[in-house]
Amino acid sequence: MKIIKTDEEYTIALARAEELIDIDPEDNTLHAEELDLLTLLINKYEDEVYPIDLPDPVDAIKFRMEQQGLKYVDMVPYFGSKSRVSEVLNRKRSLSLSMIRKLNQQLGIPAEVLITEPGKSIPENIKGVDWNRFPVVELVKNGWIDFKGSIQSAKENSEELIRGFFSQTDFSLQNYSVFFRKSLRSDKMIDDYGLAAWYAKVLIDQSNITIENKYTEKVLDDDFFNELKMLSFFDEGPLLAREYLLKFGIKLLVVSHLKGILIDGAVFFNSEMDPVIGLTLRYDRIDYFWFTLFHELSHLSLHLKNNDDYFFDDLSGKKDLSDFEKEADSFAEKMLIKDKDWKKFYTKYLTEDDIKDFAREERISSAIVAGRIQKEQDDYSLFRNLLGQNQVKRLFGIG
């Protein structure tokens, strides 16, 4: 006797089973054992070829309501409001994960029926995570989540949408709040949920970038920084920087900031130990681009050692800076303009021509020099026309 693979074999097996049933063999006889085995083979073939469709979830809900004598008003705790009860039971609204979880746990309706997928289970809720706090509407509007329904529907299905969004990464939401508190620079309250979503988007986008060479720490020498900063001399310097870094195995990408997470940049290793630098271009200026990039590279050079290290930076933050942040600020300044050159050049009485001449000598953007002067004098109205305002996002096709 063998596994049934065709309809012809199935028909033969059914006929033989009927013969054995007519005989009505006694237990523990050869005929009884043959019938048991045939029954198993027939059932296996039927399950594979003629699967029984799962009940319709709405029909299953109505059946359970009838069983327990529940009325529409009794279903409000499961759906949220009378109008939603009506919409769900009239098939005008789909079930959300939150609804499915309640119906399964409290009414005992099988998960696979509610989800309409055989063998499918309901994902366990993550302790401490409030799915409604994720900026799901902003993610949909930004095109980070592909969703064709209404804004209200997106809000109601936030758990499903966010789970799907994060499933594209290897980042677990289990301990996300602990994760972000470790190395976050900001003087403002940063929304953990928004930061988690931004970080996930960086992870998703970087996974589409192929590195040319594997990164090694030894590449970050003085020559590396000198060659990189001289790219700022060109109008398309930021794009050239991205290409330059990629040749050394460093991924640079721009992901716009979300409301409530006013950070400028981040640096970390991905799961394959490739360095990833994400910039938001919150301040769309040439000088800010280069300083932020060099700040994150400073962390990479000085502080980032394994994939448990990461830095999220709001560079306008000045209070209670860690030693790491102070060191990264100082290192970035020195790599962009050497101390001895700056001391020789800088006075409080400089003109635009002085700045442009010095920038040409250094082979760097005059925006970097103007930005450094603003910081030194703590006067951000100085030489604003030299900062390259609104010149970076357009290069990256943003806005």
Count structural domains, the chain: 4
Q: What's residue 52's pLDDT?
A: 54
Do residues 26 and 64 share a domain? no
- Do 262 and 323 belong together in one domain? yes
Q: What is the pTM of this model?
A: 0.78
Residues 231 and 161 in one domain: no
Is there a domain that residue 265 lies in?
Answer: yes
Assess whether 154 and 257 both reside in one domain.
no
172 in a structural domain: no
- Inside any domain, residue 175: no
CATH number (domain holding residue 72)? 1.10.260
Which residue range is the domain that position 23 belongs to? Answer: 7-49
Are 258 and 305 part of one and the same domain? Answer: yes
Residues 75 and 197 in one domain: no
Q: Are residues 336 and 303 in the same domain?
A: yes
Within 13 A of 304's CA, how many CA atoms are on the CB side? 28
**Total residue length of the chain:** 399
Asked if the structure places residue 355 within a domain, the reply is yes
Are both 138 and 103 inside the same structural domain? no
| Beta-bridge partner residues of 277 | 252, 267
Is residue 141 domain-shared with residue 63, that is, in the same domain?
no
How crowded is residue 155: how many other Cβ atoms within 10 Å of its Cβ?
A: 15
- Residue 174, in any domain of the structure: no
d(CA 356, CA 372): 13
Give domain status of residue 124, yes or no: no
274 and 151 within one domain: no
- Residue 136 counted as domain residue: yes
Same domain, 233 and 198: yes
Q: What pLDDT, on a 0 to 100 scale, did the predictor assign at position 33?
A: 85
Q: Write out the chain's pLDDT in tens, 399 residues.
A: 788 888 888 888 888 888 888 888 888 888 888 888 888 888 887 677 766 566 788 999 998 999 899 999 999 999 989 988 998 999 888 888 889 989 998 999 888 888 876 666 778 777 888 898 999 999 999 999 999 888 888 988 899 999 999 999 988 776 655 456 567 888 888 888 899 999 999 999 999 999 989 999 999 999 999 999 999 999 999 999 999 999 999 999 999 999 888 899 999 999 999 999 999 999 999 999 999 999 999 999 999 988 778 899 999 988 989 999 999 999 999 999 999 999 999 998 999 999 999 999 999 999 999 999 999 999 999 999 999 999 999 999 987
Cβ within 8 Å of residue 353, ≥6 positions away: none
Instruction: In whole angstroms, give the CA distance from residue 87 to residue 396.
Output: 44
Are the beta carbons of 125 and 163 closer than 8 angstroms? no
22 belongs to a structural domain: yes
Residues 43 and 71 in one domain: no
Residues 6+ apart with CB under 8 A from 363: 229, 230, 233
